[in-house]
């Protein structure tokens, strides 16, 4: 009985943070792009190289999002973090395959997974198609 009371107390204590998370996400009506990487599964020489490439392209992608998609929030999700997407699904990096990539999310749309390392042009073209906007970084 004592263990049950402790479990209920823990659930009640965590409930306000869950509600606050849902309220804050509801305010992002225009969508977001989520960069994700699981550094635990990338702890190899090839994985470290992929992380370096990811960081290089991420800087370019940040500028693209700022310039061409001003109403889209760019988030970074790492191992151990959970994010609720607009389509009602949750994104957990530890369960994602591949262990590095991007997810695009917007209200009324199913999420789009950009698997693996993405160049700035690849991201720009995919985001332009998903968010139905143009991007000066998409060569099409």
pLDDT tens for each residue of 126-138: 999 999 999 999 9
Mean pLDDT of the chain: 83
Q: Is residue 4 pLDDT above 70, yes or no?
A: no
Q: Decide if 45 is inside a domain.
A: yes
Q: Which is it for strands 100-105 and 90-92: parallel, antiparallel or unpaired?
A: unpaired
Q: Decide if 119 is inside a domain.
A: yes
Structural domain of residue 118, as residue ranges?
Answer: 27-131
Q: Torsion angle, CA of 39/112/115/125, rounded to 10 degrees?
A: -120
Q: Decide if 12 is inside a domain.
A: no
Region of poorest pLDDT, from 3-17, 38-52, 67-81, 95-109: 3-17
Say whether the peptide bond before residue 98 is cis (omega within 30 degrees of 0). yes
Whether the CB-CB separation of 109 and 86 falls below 8 Å is answered with yes
Predicted confidence band at 140 (pLDDT cuts at 50, 70, 90)? confident
CA 14 to chain CA centroid, nearest Å: 23
Q: Decide if 67 is inside a domain.
A: yes
Query: What is the spatial distance between Cα 98 and Cα 91, in angstroms, rounded to a whole number?
Result: 13
Q: Decide if 100 is inside a domain.
A: yes
pLDDT tens per residue across span 44-74: 999 999 999 999 999 999 999 999 999 999 9
Q: Decide if 19 is inside a domain.
A: no
Whether the full predicted model's pTM is greater than 0.85, yes or no, is no
CATH number at residue 96: 3.40.30.10
- 23 is written with which tokens? 């309220």
Count CB atoms within 10 A of the CB of residue 20.
10
Counting the structural domains of the chain, the total is 1
């Amino acid at each position: 009985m004592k263990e049950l009371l402790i479990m209920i107390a823990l659930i009640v204590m965590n409930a306000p943070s869950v509600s606050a998370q849902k309220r804050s996400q509801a305010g992002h009506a225009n969508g977001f792009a989520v960069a994700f990487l699981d550094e635990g599964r990338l702890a190899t020489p090839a994985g470290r190289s992929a992380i370096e490439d990811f960081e290089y392209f991420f800087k370019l992608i940040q500028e693209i999002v700022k310039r061409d998609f001003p109403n889209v929030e760019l988030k970074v999700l790492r191992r151990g973090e959970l994010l609720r997407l607009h389509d009602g699904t949750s994104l957990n990096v530890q369960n994602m395959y591949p262990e590095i990539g991007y997810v695009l999310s917007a209200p009324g749309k199913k999420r789009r997974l950009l698997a693996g390392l993405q160049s700035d042009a690849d991201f720009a073209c995919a985001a332009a198609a998903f968010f139905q906007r143009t991007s000066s970084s998409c060569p099409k």
